[in-house]
Amino acid sequence: MIFYKTIRFRIALISAVIFILISTIGAVVCYILIRKTVERAAFRQTESQAYALLDRIAVDPVLIPLPQADEAARIELISSDSVHVLFESPQLKQFKITNRLNFRHNPVVHVTKFVDAETVLSVFFTSTRPEIAETLNRIAWVLGITIVFSGSIAAWLAYLAGNIFLQPIRHITEVARKIHLSERPQQVVEVPQTYDEVQQLAETFNQMLIRIGSEVEKQNHFFASASHELRTPLAILQTEIQVRLKGGNLPEDIQKLLENQLAETHRLRNLVEDFLMVSSLKNPDLLLLPTTVKMDELVLDVADRFTLLLHQRQLRLSIDLDANTDSFDVQGDASKLKTVVSNLFDNAIKYAPETDLLHIKLFRNEKKQITLIFENHYHGSGIDLKALTQAFYQTDTLASGFGMGLWISRRILELHQATLSLTNENEMFCVQIQFPFFPITD
């Protein structure tokens, strides 16, 4: 699962974006209000300094107190017919005469007073205040850092909340991942009493599980019933054809026809037997008949049954029984384990190239587990190893069979708590079975 595509990540991202957007708008409004308040306070303080300077100026004789190093002023004596500049700081020479100027947060104020009925004393005054800009910059930085930090906290809290709220959905996902359409679903999702969409989803999912289980059960019953119904007539038909062929004195075309019918009848009987096996393996109440099974004798017995097919395909067989293993006994159902080994022989003979060597190894590994390995060459196209153990899957659609052998084998081995692993490297196909450790008793 890609982290940035999860719902939790999206919830956290959207929450952080919305929180940062709203916080930014609020911070900008607060900053503007603070800046205006600071500028008004600075203007009032500068205005007070300007009036103090104005009160200290004398006109007759002219007596002008010099501004401080951080101050600037322009003093004018205005009469009805002239404007006489008494003093002007260099910083103000380029300024137009206005009542309010913002000189980098240093307001320029204009104050006046009447000297007499026709003469006005005018003062433009400003005072350098670097602390105003520093204060405003510091406030902006604090607001920005607060927004980012708060947004991160909001994203983290939203992620945790999403993790809690999505817990039922993850549980539903885990249940769904364990469901196979080929098996009746056994697990039901616990319905949270939240009275929201999650509860509705859990209830709907349980209803779906019930419907799937019902359909799977009907399917299994159909396979079992149909297989039982077909088993007897197919056996009778096969026997009649065999008797007719043994009778002899048949025309060549009739004998060829009966041989083809016998082959197809045998193929249908194998299909029916596979269907019966599939139906029984899907039954959750299936009981095994465990006994001590000698795997070396079982492998040799099955190999003897496939001697004719091996000869027809011109395949060579090598069975390697480890001389250092004193016992090849496992605990299991002998008939079902024989089915597994028969399926492995059948697959190897079916897909191995002619004149190839079918190599079988049986030994006890370092964990004292009995291990059975089938190896043969395979020159076909790429094999989907995961799909091989699915029902009705075939690597070659033109090959005989119905693609259930490895599925049946895997299911039987699961019931025996054994493992089935497949590998295909360098055109060598390998099937390995590991049985659980079975302590040897004298």
Residue 418 within a domain: yes
Question: For residue 128, which of 35, 42, 34 has the smallest C-alpha distance?
Answer: 42
Identify the domain boundary among 113, 143, 162.
Answer: 162
Domain count of the chain? 2
Q: Are strands 370-377 and 329-333 parallel, antiparallel or unpaired?
A: unpaired
The reply to whether 158 and 296 lie within a common domain is no
Identify the domain boundary among 162, 194, 227.
Answer: 162
CA separation for the pair 304, 306 (Å, rounded): 5
CATH number at residue 363: 3.30.565.10
- Which positions ≥6 away from 219 have C-beta within 8 Å? none
Residue 364 within a domain: yes
- Per-residue pLDDT of the chain (442 residues), as tens digits, is 677 778 888 888 898 899 999 999 999 999 999 988 888 888 888 899 999 999 998 888 888 888 888 888 989 999 888 888 888 888 776 555 444 444 455 778 889 999 888 889 999 988 877 888 888 899 999 999 999 999 999 889 988 888 888 887 888 788 777 766 555 555 567 777 777 787 888 888 888 888 877 777 777 777 667 777 777 788 888 888 888 888 777 888 888 888 888 888 877 877 777 777 777 776 666 678 889 999 999 999 999 988 988 888 899 999 999 999 889 999 999 988 998 999 899 888 888 888 889 999 999 998 889 999 999 887 665 565 655 655 545 444 334 444 577 888 888 898 899 999 988 888 888 999 999 886 655 4
Residue 214 within a domain: no
DSSP 64-107: -PPPPTTEEEEEEEE-SS-EEEEEE-GGGTT----SEEESSS-E
Residue 247 within a domain: no
Residue 270 within a domain: no
Residue 376, judged by CB atoms within 10 A of its CB (0-12, 13-18, 19+), counts as buried
pLDDT of residue 441: 52
CA separation for the pair 180, 187 (Å, rounded): 11
The reply to whether 306 and 157 lie within a common domain is no
The reply to whether 153 and 17 lie within a common domain is yes
Residue 122: what are its φ and ψ, rounded to 5°?
Answer: -115, 135
Residue 80 within a domain: yes
Q: Which domain holds residue 360?
A: 290-434
CA separation for the pair 103, 71 (Å, rounded): 12
CA separation for the pair 1, 3 (Å, rounded): 6
Q: Count the alpha carbons within 13 Å of 120 in the hemisphere toward its beta carbon.
A: 11
Residue 249 within a domain: no
Question: For residue 358, which of 428, 408, 426, 406 has the smallest C-alpha distance?
Answer: 428
Residue 246 within a domain: no
pTM comes to 0.51
**CB atoms inside a 10 Å sphere around CB 225:** 11
Q: Are strands 120-127 and 107-114 parallel, antiparallel or unpaired?
A: antiparallel
The one-character DSSP state at 58 is: B
pLDDT of residue 22: 93
Q: Residue 74, Cα to own-chain centre: how many angstroms?
A: 73
Longest alpha-carbon distance in the chain: 157
For residue 423, what are the β-bridge partners? Answer: 430
Contact assessment for residue 420 and residue 413, using Cβ atoms and an 8 Å cutoff = yes
pLDDT of residue 8: 82
Q: Return the axis-axis angle of helices 334-351 and 405-415, rounded to nearest 10°.
A: 150
Scanning the structure block, which residue is given the tokens 């920005």? 144
pLDDT of residue 382: 56
Identify the domain boundary among 141, 162, 183.
Answer: 162
Contact assessment for residue 411 and residue 346, using Cβ atoms and an 8 Å cutoff = no
Residue 114, judged by CB atoms within 10 A of its CB (0-12, 13-18, 19+), counts as exposed
Scanning the structure block, which residue is given the tokens 């004298």? 442
